[in-house]
Amino acid sequence: MVKGPGELDVRKLQVTGGATYTLSLPKEWVKINGLGARDPIQVDWRPSGALRITALESVREVRRIAISTNRIPVDAILDHLMGAYLAGTDRINIHHEANEVREIKKIIRDFQRFTRGFEVEDESDSQHTLICLLNASEMPLRSSLNQMFLRLNSIVRDVLDVLCGGDIQLISDYEEREREIDSQHFLIERQAGIILDSYKVAESLGMTRRQAVEHANLARCLERMADHAFQLADMATKFGGVLSFNSENLPLNQIPIWQEAIRGLMINMRTKDAREIETARNALKSAQLSLKGHEEGLWSGKREAKKVLLEDHISESIRRMCAYARDFGETLLNMIAHEETITTREQD
């Protein structure tokens, strides 16, 4: 007998009136959803062949978690908060000792910088309660991906200017911009997890669970590109004004190729043109090969070691950005292939 979510039970069909097939429902499920005799339920015949039964006026589920410094070291609280955030938790209670209040408040501020939507609902000397004010069903994943792309592209654009002798103030806020990209990535991971657990959120966003996973993969590619953009900005900050490069020579002349390719790939999230995606991926592959050859030849001449080392690191970061952009394109192709796949039912 089924006692809770995730449990499996086998029930037999019954025939009533000689022509109507009936199936008994788990009593606990009926009680949890506040149903009674003659209450309507929705029966949804899924493309997979499964039937989904839903109460028309189902009770809203709220996910809660309690975190205590009695069980978790204070310096590990932030990791557990992030884990709760990605798991789709709506309410977080943090229990702590009175002498830990100041440190807990700092951890909460850091948590709020890394995430979206959580605010402090209540606090005392021994407890802090955080609640999420964002509704996952009202935040399109594609919009969050676009925000990640715009911030990533702006960092790369400004880094290119600085490496070519531009004002270093252009990237004075690169750490904050990178943190904003990370927070968008975490938000997408959170939403994708919620969609996997809740078909209602998936339906509200007009997205299948498979699409949610693929969008999380796209976000991961953008986040990894942002990591290398951050490294480029860090190098430009340390050496900008001391060492400058020519934008028309390797490795910097491959950045516009990456920019054009990733812009085209972002557009094809909507247009789904497989030919354009392949064109972008081929351009990125050529850029990777050019950068790899450039890196192999850097140490053959008699140049200042400091600049050669810096140029090697810059080239490697751009090359890896191209690689992750190609992965982004591959994910788009997978999404197109799945959408175009036709399913037929054949008798065994």
What pLDDT score does 20 carry?
86
What pLDDT score does 280 carry?
98
What pLDDT score does 345 carry?
61
d(CA 307, CA 184): 35
Domain limits, the chain: 14-55, 64-132, 137-340
What pLDDT score does 33 carry?
81
What pLDDT score does 34 carry?
84
Positions of the chain with pLDDT lower than 50, given as ranges: none
Alpha helices in the chain (DSSP H): 27-32, 77-86, 101-114, 141-163, 174-197, 199-205, 209-239, 255-271, 274-297, 305-340
What pLDDT score does 2 carry?
66
What pLDDT score does 199 carry?
81
User: How many Å separate Cα 111 from the centre of its chain?
Assistant: 17
Check: CB of residue 241 under 8 Å from CB of residue 168: yes
What one-letter code names the amino acid at 346? Answer: E
For residue 213, the number of C-alpha atoms closer than 13 Å in the C-beta half-sphere is 8
Check: CB of residue 161 under 8 Å from CB of residue 231: no
What pLDDT score does 294 carry?
96
User: What three-state secondary structure class fits 223?
Assistant: helix
The pTM score is 0.88
Q: What is the DSSP secondary structure assignment for residue 38, as one 8-state letter?
A: T
CATH of 64-132, one of 3.40.50, 3.90.1200, 3.30.360, 3.30.110: 3.30.110
At the topology level of CATH, where does 137-340 sit? Methane Monooxygenase Hydroxylase; Chain G, domain 1 (1.20.58)
Q: Among residues 79, 327, 325, 112, which one has the least CA distance to residue 226?
A: 325
Residues near 203 by Cβ (< 8 Å), separated by ≥ 6? none
d(CA 219, CA 211): 12
d(CA 133, CA 151): 24
- Tokens representing 330 are 């591959």
Q: Among residues 134, 130, 136, which one has the least CA distance to residue 107?
A: 130
d(CA 324, CA 322): 6
